[in-house]
Amino acid sequence: MSTRTILVLNPKGGCGKTTLAVNIASFYAKQGRSVVLADFDPQGSTMEWLQARSEKYPQIKGIPAWKNELRPPKDADYLVMDAPAAVHGRDVTKLVKRAQSVVMPVLPSPIDIRAAAHFIHDILLNGKVSRNETKLAVVANRVRENTIVYHKLQRFLKRLEIPFIATLRDTQNYIRAAERGTGIFEMAPSMVNQDLEQWRSLTRWLNSKRSLPG
């Protein structure tokens, strides 16, 4: 089986790229799959998350891809890539080329919604994306329901040509998990019930043909 490649991308900082990347990685690691996490951000947050990870959790291999050429092991089941902020132009193209699926987190804030609109406009013109060789989906992140700005984000995401696959709430659970180098899938289920439920539609998309090229 060839490696399944997933990129978490949005040039806006702080929208949840690293949070999504590490949780996607730990989701598959917990299922016993071999997972490689590649960090393209010189801030190295993903690598720090791995350093905090105790050996009692399923192993995930990290690659600091911002400094070393990324040569993922051929036998990896999953390659999860965490993109840096402020990427544009050819750097976006280079990243997108490596991925079968791109997940884009967007925050419910007017500034982030506008930035996402521009970025999505640009990325839909990207050859790989327009030729369906890379599939793109958006995720609303850090959502507090029943806020006006969340309703605005929802309206915006629903109007897009790309699938809006999940809404993740704003919760300390992600922060607590990150402190220990774990994902929410590795926390006590009673604490993260609601989050696991919200992730189901995200992982369903990732596990379906809808997220694969062709």
Ligand X SMILES: Nc1ncnc2c1ncn2[C@@H]1O[C@H](COP(=O)(O)OP(=O)(O)O)[C@@H](O)[C@H]1O
Q: Contact residues for ligand X (CB under 6 A)?
A: 13-19, 45, 85, 141-142, 168, 170-171, 174-175, 178
Nearer to ligand X, 21 or 206 (CB): 21
Q: Containing H/E element for 146?
A: none
Q: Which stretch binds Mg ion (CB under 5 A): 1-9, 24-32, 38-46, 183-191?
A: 38-46
The residue sitting closest to Mg ion, measured at its beta carbon, is 18
- Give the Cα separation of 138 and 27 in Å (integer): 18
Nearer to ligand X, 2 or 172 (CB): 172
Task: Please give, one letter per residue, the 3-state secondary structure of 12-48.
Answer: CCCCCHHHHHHHHHHHHHHCCCCEEEEECCCCCHHHH
Edge-to-edge order in the sheet of strand 35-39:
61-63, 35-39, 78-82, 4-8, 101-106, 135-143, 164-169
Residue 34 in the binding site for Mg ion (CB under 5 A): no
- Give the Cα separation of 50 and 104 in Å (integer): 22
Q: Which does 175 bind (CB under 5 to 8 A by kind): Mg ion, ligand X, none?
A: ligand X
Which of 33, 34, 44, 45 is the binder for Mg ion (CB under 5 A)? 45
Nearer to Mg ion, 51 or 189 (CB): 51
Residue 18 in the binding site for Mg ion (CB under 5 A): yes
Please report the DSSP string for 102-140 in residue order.
Answer: EEEEE-SSHHHHHHHHHHHHHHHTSHHHHTTSSEEEEEE
Q: Which does 203 bind (CB under 5 to 8 A by kind): Mg ion, ligand X, none?
A: none
Residue 17 in the binding site for Mg ion (CB under 5 A): yes
**Beta carbon of residue 162, minimum distance to ligand X (angstroms, whole number):** 18
Nearer to Mg ion, 45 or 154 (CB): 45
Q: Cα dist. 150→72, 88, 129, 212 in Å?
A: 37, 26, 27, 28
**Beta carbon of residue 15, minimum distance to Mg ion (angstroms, whole number):** 9
Number of residues that bind Mg ion (CB under 5 A): 3
Nearer to Mg ion, 44 or 213 (CB): 44
- Token pair, residue 8, equals 């978490």
Nearer to ligand X, 100 or 141 (CB): 141
Are the C-beta atoms of residues 62 and 96 closer than 8 Å to each other? no
Are the C-beta atoms of residues 20 and 105 closer than 8 Å to each other? yes
Task: List contacts with Mg ion (CB under 5 A).
Answer: 17-18, 45
